[in-house]
Structure 1
Amino acid sequence: MAARVITVSQDGSGDYRTAQEAIDAVPLCNTCRTIIRLSPGIYKQPVYVPKTKNLITLAGLRPELTVLTWSNTATRTEHHQASRVIGTGTFGCGSVIVEGEDFIAENITFENSAPEGSGQAVAIRVTADRCAFYNCRFLGWQDTLYLHHGKQYLKDCYIEGSVDFIFGNSTALLEHCHIHCKSAGFITAQSRKSSQESTGYVFLRCVITGNGGSSYSYLGRPWGPFGRVVFAYTYMDQCIRDEGWNNWGKPENERSACFYEYRCYGPGCCQSKRATWARELLHEEAEQFLMHGFIDPDPNRPWLAQRMALRIPHSA
């Protein structure tokens, strides 16, 4: 079935003026992909993709030109949806909240514009399976990118922040992404609760940059005791602290957290001084994390290749 295409433009020249109006127009429990093309502009409105609307693509021309932004924080939330629908606190404060499965975004900026020091201020929360982001930007300070649940793939994306700015308990592969540490803090806060969960974050061939200062950011800390994060073939600039990883003030986390690196490089990559409870993987250990199978494990029902084939269906 051919994808449905609808357009959004704030000047009234499209089908709708806001991203939310376009999402609201998607039929409930839809089985056909809807491509929502956003004209360039800064869209100042919270956006919510409900569980009842799957197979939605948000597409811009360039992420610098198409910005979805809002400024909610964990302690101050204004939203067109009730808190019983979107949640409260950090969970409910995302500028964009995605709960519909098989969501794709490309060439879009997701921003939480709350200033530094505002506390938790999420740019996007993803609570949905099989979601992919291509050439997107995620802007904020604390808790920028909330990969809460499900499986996600991010490619060629830019993610910035300071404290726990990639966090949650999803299974995510971030490939060829640019991670920027704006000030002292922690890149990741992965919250795997037990060794039986298959969740975790893998950063594959990424680049980590900082603000010119040295040794002020950690690669991560375990929000859940079994937090799992892998950095592989990733460049780390001098902003990364020698010890690399933090136990969140709980020595018992050192026995359960799974924090790994594999063939990383750069001035922030200092294996000889890393926390002794984190480690460099052997090749045979790393293999499982270096392939798309980490987020797309069933070869009989693949989702990522199908979605990737639909990346830019401009002829639809």
Structure 2
Amino acid sequence: MGSRVLTVAQDGSGDFKTVQEAIGAVPLGNTCRTVIRVSPGVYKQPVYIPKTKNFITLAGFRPEITVLTWHNTASSISHHEGSRVIGTGTFGCGSSIVEGEDFIAENITFENSAPKGSGQAVALRVTADRCAFYNCRFLGWQDTLYLHYGKQYLKDCYIEGSVDFIFGNSTALLEHCHIHCKSAGFITAQSRKSSQETTGYIFLRCVITGNGETAYTCLGRPWGPFGRVVYAYTYMDACIKHCGWDNWGKTENERCACFYEYRCFGPGSCSSKRVTWARDLLEEEAEQFIMHSFIDPDPERPWLAQRMALRIPYSA
């Protein structure tokens, strides 16, 4: 499978001036990897990758200088696609929306520039299987990163926000990522609906930082009653409340939410003071979560190592 390369530059020196124009040039139902190289710049327009366009790579040079940004909120959406295509409310407000499978982004910032207090304002929604993000940044306040559906791998990424800023019901492994809590809220709102679903968010060797204040944010709350989140080998600074987790105002959620920690450290990791319905994993329990097989379960048809062949060690 060869790959083709398209270039985007705002000054006209590339094949296209906008990222969306480059996506438009990718053939429907494409089966070969298309790399869209994005020159440095702040690109102020919504980006939409439809279900019919798979195997797209967006590659910047450095995330700090290659920024895709827009300002939609759940209550105010301006987009080149209609609501029947992108949806409405929180679902439709992503500055960037990825629905094409086998998507990769590298060295890109995804931002929702709506100011604090704007309500739900998604920087990126991913509704696609087998997507990977390397050295990317996700900037926003509430609902920054919507990992909605499919399997995702995030490595060396920076994610910031306040309320429920990593949320949805995908199966995601976030490795070596920096999670920054800008103000009071909840890091995750994972929405697993039943014990049969294999979805969940795993934070492996991550770092959680805050704004200098103490005990103002929770590791997560269950958007779906069986919400599943694991933090393993992760540093937690003093911004994390001692209780750690929140039941979203429903005591019945405490019976089925799966909130776990494993060998975390730092001033925010106080296992003795955590809510009684969350717990530390035993070593044999943790194994299933801290391997890449959590998101790449079929050794006969691997997608992480084989298809992307990009800085993937054998085991997490």
Provide, for residues 227-255 of structure 1, a one-character-per-residue CA deviation record: whole Å limited to 9, x for no partner. 00000000000000000000000000000
**What residue in structure 2 maps to residue 216 of structure 1?**
216
**What residue in structure 2 maps to residue 55 of structure 1?**
55
**What residue in structure 1 maps to residue 288 of structure 2?**
288
Give unmatched runs, 5+ long, in structure 2.
Answer: 312-316
**Secondary structure in structure 1 of the residue aligned to 2:119:** coil
Provide, for residues 12-44 of structure 1, a one-character-per-residue CA deviation record: whole Å limited to 9, x for no partner. 000000000000000000000000000000000
Q: Distance in 2 between matches of 1:124 and 1:31?
A: 24
**Secondary structure in structure 2 of the residue aligned to 1:251:** coil
Q: Distance in 2 between matches of 1:302 and 1:33?
A: 16
**What residue in structure 2 maps to residue 16 of structure 1?**
16
**What residue in structure 1 maps to residue 161 of structure 2?**
161
Percentage of identical aligned residues: 84
**What residue in structure 2 maps to residue 73 of structure 1?**
73
Provide, for residues 245-281 of structure 1, a one-character-per-residue CA deviation record: whole Å limited to 9, x for no partner. 0000000000000000000000000000000000000
**What residue in structure 2 maps to residue 270 of structure 1?**
270
Deviation at 1:309, TM superposition (A): 1.2
**What residue in structure 2 maps to residue 142 of structure 1?**
142
Q: Which amino acid aligns with 1:13?
A: S
Q: Distance in 1 between matches of 2:31 and 2:189?
A: 34
Q: Distance in 1 between matches of 2:307 and 2:102?
A: 8
Q: Distance in 2 between matches of 1:145 and 1:75?
A: 17
Q: Distance in 1 between matches of 2:300 and 2:239?
A: 42
Provide, for residues 181-232 of structure 1, a one-character-per-residue CA deviation record: whole Å limited to 9, x for no partner. 0000000000000000000000000000000000000000000000000000
**What residue in structure 2 maps to residue 314 of structure 1?**
none
1:7-156 aligned within 5 A: 7-156=7-156
**What residue in structure 2 maps to residue 207 of structure 1?**
207
Deviation at 1:310, TM superposition (A): 5.1
Q: Which amino acid aligns with 2:128?
A: A
Q: Which amino acid aligns with 1:120?
A: Q
Q: Which amino acid aligns with 2:116?
A: E
Deviation at 1:307, TM superposition (A): 3.5
Deviation at 1:68, TM superposition (A): 0.1
**Secondary structure in structure 2 of the residue aligned to 1:289:** coil
**Secondary structure in structure 2 of the residue aligned to 1:122:** coil
Scaled by the length of structure 1, what TM-score is found?
A: 0.98
**What residue in structure 2 maps to residue 261 of structure 1?**
261
Q: Distance in 2 between matches of 1:31 and 1:249?
A: 46
Q: Distance in 2 between matches of 1:72 and 1:151?
A: 25
Q: Which amino acid aligns with 1:125?
A: R
Q: Distance in 2 between matches of 1:272 and 1:165?
A: 26
Q: Distance in 1 between matches of 2:146 and 2:305?
A: 24
**Secondary structure in structure 1 of the residue aligned to 2:187:** strand
Q: Which amino acid aligns with 2:153?
A: Y
**What residue in structure 2 maps to residue 197 of structure 1?**
197
Give unmatched runs, 5+ long, in structure 1.
Answer: 312-316
Q: Which amino acid aligns with 1:284?
A: E
**Secondary structure in structure 1 of the residue aligned to 2:138:** strand
Deviation at 1:306, TM superposition (A): 1.9
Provide, for residues 132-176 of structure 1, a one-character-per-residue CA deviation record: whole Å limited to 9, x for no partner. 000000000000000000000000000000000000000000000
**Secondary structure in structure 2 of the residue aligned to 1:172:** strand
Deviation at 1:2, TM superposition (A): 1.5
Deviation at 1:308, TM superposition (A): 3.4
Q: Distance in 2 between matches of 1:113 and 1:180?
A: 16
**What residue in structure 1 maps to residue 248 of structure 2?**
248
Provide, for residues 54-87 of structure 1, a one-character-per-residue CA deviation record: whole Å limited to 9, x for no partner. 0000000000010000000000000000000000
Q: Which amino acid aligns with 1:207?
A: V
Q: Distance in 1 between matches of 2:213 and 2:276?
A: 25
Q: Distance in 1 between matches of 2:307 and 2:278?
A: 34
Q: Which amino acid aligns with 1:211?
A: N
| CA gap 1:4/1:310 in 2 versus in 1, 3 angstroms | farther
